[in-house]
């Protein structure tokens, strides 16, 4: 396979896993606009702007009417935080206001977006602090009662699926990619020149329209090599079939194994492709950095800032550290 250009930003550092200094917008006359420039997607920028505007209005009601007027107020607010203002208290207060003013999903999204802005501005939140802030919010929607994420379930699925879908399953559980991203991969997107196969995901194939690189576990790389060797076609795609084909076989196999029952409340299936991403992030986070798990999986709030905080060497080291946890066939 032809090596592809790696899109991780390189940093010179003597410490192999020391996050870079958080991006700080304090001192800027346009701290929100500067933050928004980290995101290429216009809709994402607008959603963040609306969320941060709603947050600042909690403390300055009626002082500005349009989201584009937000920067002067953000300057004042960040200056107050530097002076010791308690932003944990502010976030809890905003959560209460959001829960009364917006639909549950919007309230959750606005609060999460504000947390990302504050963290990237140099005001971090621990996992415990986040839990305290979000505990009073109503659930965004009824949660589907999914099957517990166990290695045995994915193993059973792998051995019952047709070969090409089984290889896709190992690829997703071992990389954190979305189904749609994997089915748009080209062989030239794979780089086997490193100690783990790098997958360079093109911006036009991602949900966020932001290019990124992830890696494959050794079991996924070996399965892909065997799959390529067995193919008789010249198709440049890694997986020459559609997401609908993958959905069909996944559902058929889940039904065969007794995992296809829908949740009575939401009518959604209790085992589905998106659970491979949940597996990747949750298992990776048990052994290594959760930030890097989210980054590799392409969660938008982590992409822009995290690529500037960690070197490629740091990210790959964390991937290897988590590899045993995310592997299915070990």
Task: Give 135-192 pLDDT, tens digit per residue.
Answer: 877 665 556 677 888 999 999 999 999 999 999 999 999 999 999 999 999 999 999 9
Sheet of 198-201, strands arranged across? 190-191, 198-201, 212-215
Residues 6+ apart with CB under 8 A from 8: 213, 307, 311, 312, 315
pTM of the complete model: 0.62
For residue 187, the model assigns a pLDDT of: 97
Of 168 and 306, which is predicted with more confidence? Answer: 168
Of 24 and 318, which is predicted with more confidence? Answer: 318
Q: Is the dihedral of CA 127, 133, 136, 142 positive or negative?
A: negative
């Amino acid at each position: 396979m032809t090596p592809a250009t790696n899109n991780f930003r390189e940093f010179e550092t003597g410490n192999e896993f020391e996050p870079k200094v958080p991006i700080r917008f304090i001192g800027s006359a346009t701290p929100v606009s500067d933050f928004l420039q980290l995101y290429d997607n216009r809709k994402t920028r607008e959603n963040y702007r609306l969320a941060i505007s709603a947050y600042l209005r909690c403390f300055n009601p009626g002082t500005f009417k349009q989201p584009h007027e937000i920067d002067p107020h953000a300057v004042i607010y960040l200056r107050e935080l530097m002076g010791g203002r308690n932003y944990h208290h502010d976030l809890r207060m905003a959560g209460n206001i959001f829960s009364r003013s917006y639909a549950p999903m919007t309230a959750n999204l606005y609060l999460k977006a504000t947390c990302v802005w504050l963290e990237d501005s140099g005001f971090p939140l621990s996992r415990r602090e986040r839990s305290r802030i979000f505990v009073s919010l109503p659930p965004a929607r009824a949660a589907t009662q999914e099957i517990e994420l166990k290695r045995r379930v994915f193993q059973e699925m792998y051995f019952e699926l047709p070969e090409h879908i089984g290889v896709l399953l190992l690829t997703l559980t071992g990389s954190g990619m979305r189904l749609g991203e994997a089915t748009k991969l080209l062989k030239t997107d794979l780089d086997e020149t490193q100690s783990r196969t790098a997958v360079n995901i093109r911006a036009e194939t991602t949900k966020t329209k932001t290019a990124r690189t992830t890696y494959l576990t050794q079991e996924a790389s070996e399965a892909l090599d065997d799959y390529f060797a067995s193919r008789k076609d010249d198709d440049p795609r890694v997986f020459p079939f559609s997401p609908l084909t993958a959905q069909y076989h996944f559902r058929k196999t889940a039904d065969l194994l007794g995992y296809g029952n829908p949740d009575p409340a939401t009518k959604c299936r209790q085992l589905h492709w998106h659970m491979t991403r949940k597996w990747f992030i949750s298992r990776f986070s048990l052994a290594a950095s959760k930030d890097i798990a989210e980054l590799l999986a392409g969660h938008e709030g982590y992409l822009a800032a995290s690529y500037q905080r960690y070197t490629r060497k740091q990210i790959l080291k964390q991937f290897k550290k988590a590899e045993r946890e995310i592997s299915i066939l070990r």
